[in-house]
Chain A
Amino acid sequence: MSRIESLFRKKKNILNIYFTAGFPKPDDTVLIANELEKAGVDMIEIGMPFSDPLADGPVIQHSSSIALQNGMGLDLIFSQIKTIRKTTQLPIILMGYVNQLMRYGEDAFFDKAAACGVDGLIIPDLPVEIYLEKYQQKVEKAGLDMIFLITPQTDEARIKLLDESSRGFLYVVSSASTTGKTAAMQHQEAYFERIRQMKLKNPLLIGFGISDKKSFDTACQYASGAIIGSAFIKALEKGPEIRKNIQQFVKAIRD
């Protein structure tokens, strides 16, 4: 059983935190992952910084460009993940854009990610049709879970396709937006309920616009948990001590 699968069997109200590798400092990837585990999060999602992150709002764009200025590259990220994996059993999701995979070489990318201890992948601009045709076998053979996104505009047939094609969990985007819009969660309850009623194969995590305890709790009413990204990245630089910032942020969500 994969780490992701066993987590969903064991736990409810799963908190998955996204952060960009190499932000604010190159070495912070490992530090942040360790602190998140200590703070009690259930899963971590590590973003591979990209020059042109189309699905991301200003906060993640900013963290990505700083990380790139810090010299972050895929091999460094893989070695950091290897270090993280030595001390934790938390599921690790790697998020990035399709051009990064293509340039690295897709096969090499999947093998390397799996070897370092990555459990799942989120590639927002990889169309599911291309995935099924070209990559699914390789990804599954490498032991990785590919996670697709659904949105309020996704029709029922396509939701089923995306659910069938995903492993681990299905990513429910809260509203039509790039990452980091906090207004996103309002008035979405009917949509969340509709998805819950579909009784899909995968457990659900809600993401985009989850920023605080209130929005996290709302998400947990309809799904197995939620993903927080931009709000966490903002919090990283809130006070002078990054460890304290992390602990306080997670505590405020969990309390």
Chain B
Amino acid sequence: MNYQPDKRGFYGKFGGAFIPELLYPNVEFLRKNYLKIITSASFQQEFKSLLRDYAGRPTPLYFATRLSEKYHTQIFLKREDLNHTGAHKINNTIGQILLAQRMGKKRIIAETGAGQHGVATATVSALMGLQCVVYMGEVDMERQAPNVARMKMLGAEVRPARSGSRTLKDATNEAIRDWINHPEDTYYLIGSVVGPHPYPDMVARFQSVISEEMKIQLKEKTGRDEPDKIIACVGGGSNAAGAFYHYLENKKVELIAVEAYGKGVDSGQTAATTKIGSEGVIHGSKTLLMQNEEGQITEPYSLSAGLDYPGIGPLHAHLFKSGRGRFLGATDEEALQAAFEITRLEGIIPALESAHALAVLPKIKLKSNEVVVINISGRGDKDLQAYTKYLEEVEKKHLNIGR
């Protein structure tokens, strides 16, 4: 089985570039040139030095003693939360901003859900002195208000997306429409392994630094450069793609992707794409998505803004269909519990997105001699409002959590 896209961007039957003709010249230029540009020595040198000196890489691989004790196994946390701006998103935005710069683009646009990608884009735009416009669903602007403030301080304009469910899907629609209206000067800096080819592959390559470091760090700490399991949450799937990347061909490593079940797979309020989705086209890519009988894309739900998306990237659709990936999920409630658990066992407040990955620990069989890596894709500062609310509710009910 092959996990790299073919020339036209298909992973098996998923991927491609289903875009209006208006975007064709931009996307085609990227398709023809991205590999040449991003694999060149000068690009790689600049990319790596910014990842090191600016983003703060490598991020630690931390052995979580108390969490491991609780689950009777060996759990390592890949600390993407310790990156500059607080999530894995910066890996990708550094890569793409260098590409945009080499293409001579003057204006950067992006979509954002949790606001982490928006902040990371606003950050690198400030760094390079480029104009930046970020589209964000109105609902998300409210629930991730700290990130809206950060983007504004960084000099970005945040434009509310007011259509549909007013979340990530709608912000992405608006960003694509902006790009259609500004094909010459604007670069669309996509935040996950979604969108038309070559974005999924490009973003996966920029995020692959996660598993590149993981290999070296695991070797140092365990003597083997591979874990038994890797667990990562999936919104569009970029942190998971990065954490899986160098192990895609290594069948000994179990790849566990965790989707947001929201209020439950069958509740009608969920983002469980592989459970209730079907094949179709969303945001220029053929993949799995949530839709009704008429092919209308349905509105997803998750408490976590970064996972509140009705599709997954084409690589993940392929991992799911081929059986290479194991797809699990966590509800809002399970993710909140997991967030408190790790906070109180390890002193690490994770992003609500990352908490979904942690939340599957009680659901899977683990052996004491197994090595499990969980990708902590981001930190929880942005989610304090949700966490505080949860804590108040729990205290009202006199429940004991996270011990």
Residues of A within 8 A of B (CB): 50-52, 54-55, 57, 61, 65, 68, 73-74, 97-104, 124-127, 129-130, 148-151, 153-155, 158, 162, 173, 176-178, 181
Contacts and interface: CB of A to CB of B under 8 A. Distances in A.
Contacts of B279: 102
B181 interface: yes
Nearest to B17: A127
B60 interface: no
Contact of A125 (B18, B182, B184, B298): B18
Interface stretch (B47-55, B67-75, B172-180, B333-341): B172-180
Contacts of B183: 153, 176
A65 B297 CA distance: 12
A183 B310 CA distance: 34
A57 B291 contact: no
Contacts of A100: 294-295
Interface in B258-317: 278-284, 291, 293-298
A173 B297 contact: no
Interface string B163-191: 11000010001001100111110000000
A253 to B, nearest CB: 25
- Residue of B282, B284, B294, B297 with most chain A CB atoms under a 10 A cut-off: B294
Interface stretch (B20-28, B216-224, B348-356, B388-396): B20-28
- Residue of B19, B173, B281 with most chain A CB atoms under a 10 A cut-off: B281
A124 B21 contact: yes
A135 B282 CA distance: 20
Given A73-B293, A99-B280, 10 more contacts: A50-B296, A103-B280, A125-B281, A127-B17, A148-B21, A153-B183, A153-B184, A154-B25, A162-B21, A177-B22
Given A127-B17, A158-B24, A54 B173 contact: yes
Contacts of A151: 21-22, 24
7 contacts: A54-B176, A54-B284, A99-B281, A100-B295, A103-B291, A151-B21, A176-B22
Nearest to B296: A51
Interface residues of B, number: 35
A99 B19 contact: no
B32 interface: no
A73 B281 CA distance: 18
A99 B283 CA distance: 10
Contacts of A50: 295-296
A99 B22 CA distance: 18
Contacts of B297: 51-52, 99
Interface in B373-403: none
A54 B177 contact: yes
A174 B183 CA distance: 14
B48 to A, nearest CB: 34
B291 A153 contact: no
A99 B176 contact: no
Interface string B135-178: 00000000000000000000000000001100001000100110
Contact of B295 (A102, A129, A150, A158): A102
Given A73-B294, A99-B291, A177-B180, A52 B21 contact: no
- Residue of B18, B164, B282, B293 with most chain A CB atoms under a 10 A cut-off: B18
A189 B182 CA distance: 20
B21 A173 contact: yes
6 closest A-B pairs by beta carbon, nearest first, are: A103-B295, A51-B296, A100-B295, A55-B20, A149-B21, A99-B281
A48 B403 CA distance: 54
B86 interface: no
